[in-house]
Amino acid sequence: MTPTYPNTLFDRINSALPQTQCTRCGYIDCAAYAQAIVSDQAAINQCPPGGIEGIRRLSAITALPVLPLNPLNGLEGPRSVAFIDEDWCIGCTLCIKACPVDAIVGSNKMMHTVIEPVCTGCELCLPVCPVDCIKLEDVTGTRTGWNAWSEPQAQAAHARHEVHKHRNNRDKHKVSEISEETAATTMKPASQQSARTQPATDEAERKRAIIKAALERSRAQRVPKT
């Protein structure tokens, strides 16, 4: 179902943003940037994916003057899509967690892949990949900003990001509950704690060993043979 925006200033500004959730504006997502504009804490020229057309749209909504895109936030350019080299992917799931619109699928120790039609080109998956197996490919040629994007794509990205945020908040709530339980456990005698904490410690060590071994295999494969 396509989301609709109420006619508040915040929602009008948010709907004028491309919803790539790339954070290049300096905020955690498009909604945070929209709120900063409403609060007069951010200028309307900080969104590279929206480009000059996005600035014009924000200017029409806010009555603020059109400004050149702030180069400190990046440059307007074609839209890119992430692709994963599955020969090098070690299945660490870090890119899956980083993607703000859930455009990457896979599971632990299994190859990951990008759902190209829903990738926003945010680039947030690039820095978290430990084996550098993710690359960007230009998919819009000379079209940039909103000319390389569309309203339906922006609305779909917004909807997927809302689902992503809801799941993250739910997971954080679970972690908080576990932390409270752990804190309560530490108040018990050591003899009662060991049976509960040792399995968790062993599992964490096992996961670290798996990732370390996968990284070592990947690096070994990349060393040129003499």
Residue 107 sits in a domain whose CATH number is 3.30.70.20
| Domain-located, residue 159 | no
pLDDT of residue 168: 84
Asked if residue 67 and residue 94 are part of one domain, the reply reads: no
Say whether both 13 and 68 belong to one domain.
yes
Long-range contacts (CB closer than 8 Å, 24 or more residues apart) made by 106-109: 109/210, 109/214
Tokens of 160: 């997927």
Do both 19 and 69 map to the same domain? yes
Residue 179 DSSP class? H
**Within a domain: residue 121?**
yes
Of 112, 134, 137, 113, nearest to 124 by C-alpha is: 134
User: Are both 59 and 22 inside the same structural domain?
Assistant: yes
Last residue of a domain, one of 51, 73, 95: 73
Does one domain contain both 15 and 69?
A: yes
Exposure string (b/e) for 188-207, b if CB count within 10 Å is 16 or more? eeeeeeeeeeeeeeeeeeee
98 assigned to some structural domain: yes
The total domain count for the chain is: 2
Q: Could you tell me which residues come within 8 angstroms of residue 56 by beta carbon, excluding any fewer than 6 positions away? A: 66
Please check whether residues 84 and 122 belong to one and the same domain: yes
Do 53 and 96 belong together in one domain? no
The pLDDT, as a whole number, for residue 213 is: 66
Token pair recorded at residue 69? 């895109």
| DSSP output for 45-105 | ---TTTHHHHHHHHHHHH-PPP----GGG----B-EEEEE-TTT-----HHHHH-TT--EE
Tokens of 79: 């839209």
Same domain assignment for residues 17 and 62: yes
217: tokens are: 């295999």
* Domain range enclosing 134: 80-139
Q: What is the pLDDT of residue 217?
A: 63
Strand-pair partners of 134: 84
Interacting residues of 21 by C-beta distance below 8 A, sequence separation 6+: 29, 30, 100, 101, 120, 122, 124, 157, 161
Low-confidence ranges of the chain (pLDDT < 50): 1-3, 5, 179, 193-197
Domain boundary among 23, 51, 73: 73
User: The CATH number of the domain where 18 resides is what?
Assistant: 1.10.15.40
Q: What is the reported pTM?
A: 0.75
What's the confidence (pLDDT) of residue 22? 97
